[in-house]
Copies of this chain bind each other. A is one copy, B any other.
Amino acid sequence: MPSETVNPSGQIQPADSVGIVTPQSARFDRPLELACGRTLREYTLVYETYGELNADKSNAVLICHALSGHHHAAGRHSPGDKRPGWWDNYIGPGKPIDTDKFFVVSLNNLGGCHGSTGPSSINPDTGKPWGRDFPILRVRDWVHSQARLADLLGIEQWAAVIGGSLGGMQAMRWALEYPDRLRHCVVIASALKLSAQNIAFNETARQAITSDPDFCDGHYLEREKLPRSGLAVARMIGHITYLSDDGLGRKFGRELRSGTFEQGVEEEVEFQVQSYLRYQGDTFSGSFDPNTYILMTRALDYFDLAREYDHDPVAAFSHARCRFLLLSFTSDWRFAPQRSREIVDALIRANQPVSYAEIESPMGHDAFLLPSERYRRVFFAYMNGVAAETAPEVN
């Protein structure tokens, strides 16, 4: 088998890529009752699919995205597209989420800013952008809306629901809300609930956004403003905390941008890490909706898997009927291995089948997105087992 092919536009296409993908859109007219008590009358979900659904529809896998993710998880949107989807390292032919075996569904969550209905969409009642009036969402709202997408696609039961970070919270919630609708739950670098420190970082990020005068109390779109600098600071906070101290050190150390150190030269940006962070902040603030960032971080803060099970995760997990794979990364300090071990412990005490691997990585929380040999091997082996259970119609 060749390791790459040349597509019609002349661009080299790696053999393990899903290739060019086109987002699709699904409109839902049945009102969705939300955890906050409000109802969303109608909404759109944007999604992509990779691979083929087999005849008995048993090989479908759902990808749940994290804080700043979206539906574009793999492949490219055009031959000239510079960057592939956010999880292209792990989705594709021969990759752990093997598109030769699975039919992969990846959506932009409700409240997002990449095409699905969210704060930057038009509120049908007012004809203006929702802005800050968009309902507060909880992880369970996403799970309910994802279930409707499954209905639409004719998928009765997912072979697996998979997510990292906030995506892992959705996967766990799936296991409790719809125990019969998934066979495997893959939870990567996640937690039963955030720690006070995590909430504090999110709060500071939100504060940076809302205190930007261009935030206009959340109605910046109507006023043709954008709280870019607030969102940039929010992203910088996120960025530092998703990397490890060691990872930042390896990447930048205390390298000076100019290569030399001259006391007396007053430079605005002196260390490499400063210029990197500013670039990251600026880029992000040009492409992400601030109200969506607030909405997503609040969903993170509020997530507490066991809240309605008398705060007992064992009682919560006793409702699950799927198998679990848990993964964590040694240098991840926002979703530390300890938080994954709490999940594993609760699953074991609830007599649920669970596999767990702690992956050695210097890259902090971001490790769940990055190439890593042991991560790939463990993930691949598990998913290979999942594929073996599905009907052999598609090869």
Kindly identify which residue among B38, B196, B245 contacts A253, using a CB–CB cutoff of 8 Å.
B196
| A 278-299 contacts with B by CB, 8 A | 278, 281
**How many residues of chain A get a CB closer than 8 Å to chain B's CBs?**
54
Task: Report B-chain residues with C-beta under 8 Å of the C-beta of A349.
Answer: none
Kindly identify which residue among B37, B233, B248 contacts A263, using a CB–CB cutoff of 8 Å.
B37
* Number of copies of this protein chain within its complex: 2
Q: Which residues of A contact B (CB under 8 A)?
A: 35-38, 136, 138, 193-197, 199-201, 203-204, 207-208, 211-213, 229-230, 232-233, 236-237, 239-240, 243-245, 248-249, 251-254, 261, 263-264, 266, 270-271, 273-274, 277-278, 281, 301-302, 304, 307, 333
Task: Report B-chain residues with C-beta under 8 Å of the C-beta of A301.
Answer: 270-271
Looking at the assembled complex, report how far the CB atom of A212 sits from the nearest CB atom of chain B, in whole angstroms.
8
18 further A-B pairs in the complex, CB-CB below 8 A; given A203-B278, A245-B333 = A36-B264, A36-B266, A37-B263, A194-B254, A195-B248, A197-B248, A197-B249, A199-B254, A200-B240, A200-B273, A200-B274, A203-B236, A203-B273, A204-B236, A204-B277, A211-B212, A211-B230, A270-B302
Looking at the assembled complex, report how far the CB atom of A316 sits from the nearest CB atom of chain B, in whole angstroms.
16
Task: Report B-chain residues with C-beta under 8 Å of the C-beta of A237.
Answer: 204, 237
Looking at the assembled complex, report how far the CB atom of A306 sits from the nearest CB atom of chain B, in whole angstroms.
12
